[in-house]
Amino acid sequence: MSAGRTILVLILILLALPAAAQKGKSKTQLQKEKQENLEKIKETERILNETSQQKTNSLGELSALNQRISQQEQLITSIKSEINLLDRDINEDNDMIDALQKDVKDLKKEYAAMVFSAQKANNKIDQLSFIFSSKSFNQLSMRLKYMQQYSKARKDQAEAIARTQKILEDQILQTETVKKAKGLLLGDQVKENKSLSSLKTKQKSVVRSLQKEERRLRSDIDETRQSVAELDRLIDEIIREEIARAEREAREAKARASRPKVNESNIALSASFEDNKRKFAWPASGFISQKFGKQNHPALKGIVINNNGINIQTRQDEKVKCIFNGEVRQVASIGVIGNSVIIVHGDYYSVYAGLKEVFVKRGDKVTANQEIGQLMVNGEGVSELRFMIYKNNNPPTALDPQQWLRN
């Protein structure tokens, strides 16, 4: 019984090890995600501080606050998930402690019964009398063997109690450690919830302030729309020219030979561009302040903004990098959105707008991660890249850049 119960305890502990390792992996992943989120929060805080120093209660400040709130909520969710994992650990540890305490109690009970039986036997007849009263040598041998086995059983039982008691003590210490870790996380959760509440209060204040400037904001929106429309027309014109040129070359090739000549370098470049979908490095660090497609204005009701790309809000004087090998097709200065660079990659185009300085010129061959310009700071005190990707169709197709960049 005692040996069987000891084996059962050890089996339970061994079975718990894989589960503990698996949960440990999950905790490690959560802690990694939390650390990554904290790094992103630091970056957004830097952008927020720079924007606020340029101009308070601005759209740029609101965008940074919205991003910080989203990151703060993710951080709190991560902390909650880690607390839930620790709660599961504590519950399972407590179950293990209860089982071990029961085993220790049962082992001690069995050991006491063995000691009592031995004392009872000693009261009736001493061990020597018991051995030498044997009627044959075989009986003598069997009685000696029995005495040895009984002594060994008592010794094994005592050792089993000590081992199980040690496992129990270690389990209790482990549980206390987990409880302390949970206590620290609960403290973090309270602190981060306070920070979230403070951010939301600031967000409401900025929104109220911006709503009071509705006339100015509407004027800014109209001016930006005009500049964006001008950029769209330029992109459309360039792509239509590319399509017309390709068709012209195909006709000329057909006239020279029965089999049209195909521009294999453009086809290869297009295929390579497509193969890198979701793998491209970001053209600038920061966060997405405006997504692709239609969306409501962050402060003004009833205003819908349509974006053919994404806006990446970043730190001041941020350098902008080309996402893939290609050729600069156009460099242009367009209204309030500043300088723009359009790069062709076979059948695809990448567009970078909002630059104060441009490091390339039309016709330049560029490579992935090459710096092509430096961002300006607009009237709102915001450093923001307008980034677009187009497919060479007729009419041109605007693609969601977020679907092409690394996660």
Write the CA distances from 126 to 123, 132, 136, 144, integer angstroms: 7, 10, 19, 13
Q: Return the pLDDT at 185.
A: 86
DSSP-assigned letter for residue 28: H
Q: How far apart are CA 9 and CA 3, in angstroms?
A: 10
* SS3 call for 5: helix
The amino acid that residue 308 corresponds to is: N
DSSP 37-49: HHHHHHHHHHHHH
Q: What pLDDT, in 10s, does the model give residues 53-85?
A: 888 788 899 999 999 999 999 999 888 888 888
> Domains in the chain, start-ordered, CATH in brackets?
2-211 (1.10.287), 214-403 (2.70.70.10)
Q: How far apart are CA 313 and CA 51, in angstroms?
A: 10
Q: How far apart are CA 31 and CA 28, in angstroms?
A: 5
The encoded tokens of residue 372 equal: 């092509």
Q: How far apart are CA 1 and CA 110, in angstroms?
A: 9
Pick from 285, 302, 236: nearest CA to 383: 285
The encoded tokens of residue 234 equal: 């330029």
* SS3 call for 305: strand
Q: How far apart are CA 88 and CA 394, in angstroms?
A: 58
φ/ψ of 391, rounded to 5, equals -105, 140
Cβ atoms < 10 Å from Cβ of 2: 21
Residue 168 vs residue 207, higher pLDDT: 207
Residues composing the chain? 407
Handedness of CA 355, 360, 363, 365 (dihedral sign): negative
Pick from 213, 353, 361: nearest CA to 290: 353
The answer to whether the beta carbons of residues 303 and 352 sit under 8 Å apart is no
Rounded to the nearest integer, the mean pLDDT of the chain is 82
Question: Tokens 């500049």 — which residue?
Answer: 227
Pick from 382, 384, 385: nearest CA to 59: 382
Q: Return the pLDDT at 256.
A: 66
* SS3 call for 366: strand
Pick from 227, 382, 401: nearest CA to 310: 401
Q: What pLDDT, in 10s, does the model give residues 336-350?
A: 999 999 999 988 999
Q: How far apart are CA 293 and CA 273, in angstroms?
A: 22
- Please, which pLDDT band fits residue 19 given cuts at 50, 70 and 90? very low
In 3-state terms the chain splits into helix, strand, coil percentages (rounded to 5) of 65, 15, 20
Q: What pLDDT, in 10s, does the model give residues 290-327?
A: 999 999 998 888 899 999 999 999 998 899 999 999 99
Counts of helices then strands in the chain (DSSP H, E): 6, 12
- Collect all residues with Cβ–Cβ distance below 8 Å to 378 and sequence separation of at least 6: 60, 336, 338, 354, 384
Q: Return the pLDDT at 252.
A: 75
For the chain, give the longest Cα–Cα distance. Answer: 124
Q: Return the pLDDT at 129.
A: 58
Phi-psi region of 325 (alpha: psi -120 to 50; beta: other; left: phi over 0): beta
Report the predicted TM-score, pTM, of the whole model to 2 decimal places: 0.72
Cβ atoms < 10 Å from Cβ of 84: 12
Q: How far apart are CA 98 and CA 168, in angstroms?
A: 9
Rounded-to-10 torsion of CA 153, 158, 163, 166:
170
- Collect all residues with Cβ–Cβ distance below 8 Å to 331 and sequence separation of at least 6: 339, 340, 341, 342, 358, 360, 361, 362
Q: Return the pLDDT at 385.
A: 97
- Collect all residues with Cβ–Cβ distance below 8 Å to 306 and sequence separation of at least 6: 293, 294
- Please, which pLDDT band fits residue 263 given cuts at 50, 70 and 90? low
Q: Return the pLDDT at 99.
A: 79
- Please, which pLDDT band fits residue 257 given cuts at 50, 70 and 90? low
